[in-house]
Amino acid sequence: MATILSIETSCDETAVAIVNNRNIYSNIVASQIDLHRTYGGVVPEVASRQHLETINLCIEQALSEAALDWEQIDAIAATVAPGLVGALMVGVSAAKTLAILYQKPFLGVHHLEGHIYASYLSEAQLQPPFLCLLVSGGHTSLIYVKDCGVYEMLGTTRDDAAGEAFDKVARQLKLSYPGGPIIDRMAQTGNSQAFALPEGRVSLPTGGYHPYDSSFSGLKTAVLRLVQKLEQENQSLPINDLAASFQDTVARSLTKRTIACALDYGLNTIAVGGGVGANSGLRKHLTAAATEHNLTVYFPPLKLCTDNAAMIGCAAADHFNRGHISPLSLGVQSRLAI
């Protein structure tokens, strides 16, 4: 049973956690969202600087909330890829420094593997194989989870990630950043049938459409055209109906692909990860479709869906228990396949 101190700084959350296998002892997340909101999105340089300001405090707080000292920590882990390079470097440098100082093994973790492990934290009985639908600001992935470290990417997005599409459409509707939670809130009182929007599909060279890949840029453009048309006609924007119609289209599209993938690969368990996993439309459609096909679907709580270090620590613990550790020469990477 490994106790891991883990650090996640791949984007705009400075996060430090202490976990023991699937048990969370502390899970500190210092969000930078307020700082980036004024720019309408994450500014890499601002993110790195803020991680530097906050990281030591987060480490101290994680240790103090867990009521542990360094002797009780077995290893130090950090997200090494993918993400903003400057931001990743802050967390990885801190983790390596602690590993040297306290003579602990270091483990570099892939960010997407962390999101997969968030499901293990919330569902203690969950075991592979299962299908992970990972929908965040940077990713839209269908991953066949076969075992620790053994993954097959079955579906992806050809353009925007699901969360990115929410954020961009929110901007078109003149809503604040990040747009996903706001669109979700507005959609509650909107009519999802008010506007017929196109579900993006990815053509195959051999004809037909890719069954698991998504595309959101056409949908985003369709919303933009609709907004421009309504504005030209001097009509006030029916924001709630637009939000509900957009959300419903994304949720149905993701649900269709996820269910098809699970059935084709004979996987009867689906685990959702990433910030868009919090979306009420996706939860509604995916839960209903899973029930219809006799599949089980798990949605981790919001705090584990969005970026956090507990998920990184949980992945690191599983690897550590199998004797895996990383060399201190392991560098950060902005892009890396899982």
Q: Based on CB atoms, which residue is closest to ligand KG4, 113 or 307?
A: 307
**Interacting stretch for Zn ion, rule CB under 5 A, among 25-33, 133-141, 229-237, 246-254?**
133-141
Q: Minimum distance from CB of 42 to Zn ion (Å)?
A: 12
The single-letter DSSP state of residue 303 is: H
DSSP characters over 57-121: HHHHHHHHHHT--GGG--EEEEEEESS-HHHHHHHHHHHHHHHHHTT--EEEEEHHHHHHHHHHH
Q: Based on CB atoms, which residue is closest to ligand KG4, 3 or 247?
A: 247
299 Cβ contact list (under 8 Å, min separation 6): 272, 277, 283, 305
Q: Based on CB atoms, which residue is closest to ligand KG4, 166 or 195?
A: 166
Helix (H, G, I), strand (E, B) or coil at 133: strand
User: Distance between CA atoms of 155 and 133, rounded to whole angstroms?
Assistant: 9
Query: Site for Zn ion (CB under 5 A): which residue of 136, 141, 157, 258?
Result: 136
Q: Which partner, Zn ion, ligand KG4, none, binds residue 306 by CB below 5 to 8 Å per kind? A: ligand KG4
Q: Minimum distance from CB of 225 to ligand KG4 (Å)?
A: 22
Bind-site residues? 111, 115, 134-138, 167, 180, 184, 279, 307
Q: Minimum distance from CB of 75 to Zn ion (Å)?
A: 22
For ligand KG4, the binding residues (CB under 6 A) are 11, 136-138, 163, 166-167, 178-181, 184, 274-276, 278-279, 306-307
CA angle 165, 180, 286 (to 5 degrees): 85
Q: Based on CB atoms, which residue is closest to ligand KG4, 307 or 318?
A: 307
Q: Does 9 bind Zn ion (CB under 5 A)?
A: no
Which residue's structure tokens are 């990115």? Answer: 164
The single-letter DSSP state of residue 45 is: H
Q: How many other CB atoms are found less than 10 A from the CB of residue 141?
A: 26
Give residues in contact with Zn ion (CB under 5 A).
136, 307
